[in-house]
Amino acid sequence: MSLAMEGINRFEEFLRSIGCPTRLSELGIGEITEKILSRCAEETLKVLQDEEGRLPGRLPLRKEDIVEILSMAT
């Protein structure tokens, strides 16, 4: 786990070094509300979803999961 976190931190440092935002709040789009995050999750699932309506992946993500992840990125 510590090795994974080190990799994440280094990648975030790299992104910052090239001027790439690493948080949604750094995008300058105003207040990021639960409604906005929910809409982003809905739009994501319109693009790609499995037979159960989840975003496919190693761990398929429900709309609520996507919203939670986006909330952590604000």
What is the full per-residue pLDDT of the chain (74 aa) written as tens digits?
A: 999 999 999 999 999 999 999 999 898 888 899 999 999 999 999 999 999 999 999 999 999 999 999 999 98
The per-residue pLDDT for 30 is 85
Which of 23, 28, 21 has the alpha carbon at shortest distance from 69? 23
The per-residue pLDDT for 2 is 94
Same domain membership, residue 21 and residue 42: no
The per-residue pLDDT for 57 is 94
The per-residue pLDDT for 29 is 84
Same domain membership, residue 51 and residue 71: yes
Expressed as residue numbers, the domain containing 38 is 32-74
